[in-house]
């Protein structure tokens, strides 16, 4: 792993099944909207060895037409929504700030947990994205300082604390500790 700049990381590795699954979803998603990958998969992508059942992705608020086009293409590529059958239902979940999960046909795990931007922190995530060059592919993730702050200040589970510790270790020379603390204060006000 190589930190090229504060907004770009390069990783060359053999892709895991989770990487292949995530990249397949993202290749479709990015045709219709911006996205940002957050939470546990970020730590896994950056080398943490642990299992994950889902990959969390945030997208900006978008039109029903774009969501419809996205879902149609996902279905053509053997993805289905776990909790809704129709495009209208899926869109209504998203509009009501309820995440929707997508998996490959005939599976449940792994799945993508897709949600719309819902607060100031999500907006900040899009303002400070990091592009991870994964071999010859790209994945857009949230700023590491924000990831760490969210895991330490909001989630706080043992798994999340370990994820944050891992991110602190692998990016130690590239982190702005003051920014982590600023984000923690902001998160404390929101959550």
Q: What is the pLDDT of residues 162-178, one digit of tens each?
A: 999 999 999 999 999 99
pLDDT above 90 coverage of the chain, percent: 98
What are φ and ψ of residue 2, in 5° steps? -135, 125
pLDDT at 96: 96
**113 phi/psi in degrees, rounded to 5:** -100, 105
Q: Kind of pairing, strands 54-59 and 111-116? A: parallel
Does the global pTM surpass 0.85? Answer: yes
pLDDT at 93: 97
Kindly report, residue by residue over 107-143, the tens digit of the pLDDT: 999 999 999 999 999 999 999 999 999 999 999 999 9
User: Confidence band (pLDDT; 50, 70, 90) for 80?
Assistant: very high
Write the DSSP assignment of 104-153 as a string of letters: ETT--SSEEEEEE--SHHHHHHHHT-EEEEETTEEEEE--HHHHHHHIII
Sign of CA dihedral 143, 149, 154, 158: positive
Bridge partners of 38?
A: 56
- Average pLDDT for the chain: 96
Q: Phi-psi category of 47—alpha, beta or left, where left has phi over 0 and alpha has psi -120 to 50?
A: left
Domains of the chain, each with CATH number or no CATH = 2-143 (3.30.460)
- The answer to whether the CB of 112 falls within 8 A of the CB of 102 is yes
């Amino acid at each position: 792993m190589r930190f090229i700049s504060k907004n770009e990381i390069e990783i060359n590795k053999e892709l895991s099944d989770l990487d292949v699954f995530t990249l397949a979803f993202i290749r479709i998603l990015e045709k219709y909207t911006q996205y940002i990958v957050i939470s546990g998969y970020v730590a896994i992508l950056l080398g943490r060895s642990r299992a994950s059942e889902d990959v969390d992705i945030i997208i900006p608020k978008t039109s029903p037409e774009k969501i419809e086009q996205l879902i149609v293409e996902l279905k053509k590529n053997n993805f289905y929504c776990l909790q809704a059958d129709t495009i209208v239902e899926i869109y209504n979940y998203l509009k009501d700030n309820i995440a929707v999960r997508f998996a490959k046909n005939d599976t449940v795990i792994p799945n993508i947990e897709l949600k719309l931007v819902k607060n100031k922190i999500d907006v900040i995530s899009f303002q400070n994205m990091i592009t991870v060059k994964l071999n010859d592919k790209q994945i857009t993730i949230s700023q590491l300082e924000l990831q760490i702050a969210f895991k330490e200040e909001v989630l706080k589970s043992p798994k999340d604390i370990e994820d944050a510790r891992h991110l602190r270790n692998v990016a130690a020379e590239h982190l702005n500790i003051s920014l982590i603390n600023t984000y923690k204060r902001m998160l404390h006000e929101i959550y």
